[in-house]
Structures are given as structure tokens and as C-alpha cells.
Amino acid sequence: MQSGKIAEIWTLLGTVPDPEIPAISVVELGVIRDVKFLNNEFIISVTPTYSGCPAVKTFQDDIKTQLNQNKIHNFKIEIVYKPAWTTDWMSNETKEKLRKYGISPPEKFAQCPQCSSTSIELISEFGATACKSLYKCKDCLEPFEHFKCI
């Protein structure tokens, strides 16, 4: 009886954007690990991308708002650490969305998202958020962010 509701929750979570990269949802980011029904409430298991990522708190609030607006109130969000989040969970479709948004997706070699050049240089191992590093394209000279593989 709850399986329909669980599917509905997954669909709703799929509409909650990542607060820092709104081009993809929290489901696509891979941080929603499980939705289950236990003791009359839904348990949503969430894993942080990086231990200190400030977006984790924001997207928990966003999830609450989205579910409440859709009249779902009997749920709780639980933080899980295992297995540790990895960019391997991102689908090719999600990676393509990142590229279109101007971020080089988490693949072994960074590539300019503007002109697809692989002639690039690392500017900084740390970017504006914990999950990204900074590069510059030597062909089109545009700076760009690369989603780090972890």
C-alpha cells in the first residue's frame, strides 16, 4: 500500500534541485540513498557529498518544504555515512546536464564544457564549492569548473 507513496516521494525528491548546482536534482546528485516506510513514517536516507558541505542542510530544508507542500508530513530525514558518497553514482545523463550547465562532469580527465578542448590547465585544486576544482581552457581561454571524482 505504501509502495505507491514511496514512488511519489521519489518523484517529488526528483524535483528538488541541488542548492549550488540547480541544473541537477538531489536524486541525480546521488545523495538520496533510500526511501522506506517504517513505524508509520517514511524514512528518507540522505548521505552528504563532502562532510562539511553547507548545501546538505539547505537541501534537507528544501526536501521538507517540497514534501510538506504536497501534504506529506509523516517523514524524517536520516543522515547515513555508509557507503560514502561517490561521483560514480552519477548517470551519464546527469553528467551531460552538468556539461550543458558549464561544469566539466566528474570524469577522469577534465574537458572544457564550452569548446570540448582537452588542452586545459589546472588553476586551483579547490573551487567555489568543496566538490569542484578550477581549470582554464587553453583553446577558448574560458575558465571553468570541474566536478572532482571521489
Partner 1 sequence: MKDLEKYTLRIADTSLILAQRLSEWCSNGPTLEEDIALSNISLDLFGQANGLLDYVSKLNGEKSADEIAFKRNERQFYNLQICEQENGHFGDTIIRQFLCDSYFKLFYSSLANSKDEILSAIANKSLKEVEYHLRHSSNWVIRLGDGTKESNQKIQTSLNQIWKFTGEFFEMDELDNIMLKKNIGVDNNNLKEEWDLIVNKTLKQAKLTRPNDGYMMNGSKQGLHTEYLGKILAQMQYLPRAYPDAKW
Strands (E), 17-114: 32-38, 41-46, 75-79, 103-104
Choose between 140 and 150: whose C-beta lies nearer to partner 1: 150
| CA–CA separation, 23 and 4 (whole Å) | 27
Instruction: Give CA separation, 132 vs 14, 60, 135, in Å.
Output: 22, 21, 10
Return the C-alpha cell found at 14.
526528483
Q: Which is nearer to partner 1, 113 or 127 (CB)?
A: 127
Nearer to partner 1, 75 or 85 (CB): 85
**To the nearest whole angstrom, how small is the minimum distance from the Cβ of residue 126 to partner 1?**
4
Residues forming contacts to partner 1 in the complex (CB under 8 A) are: 48, 50-54, 80-85, 123-128, 130, 134, 148, 150
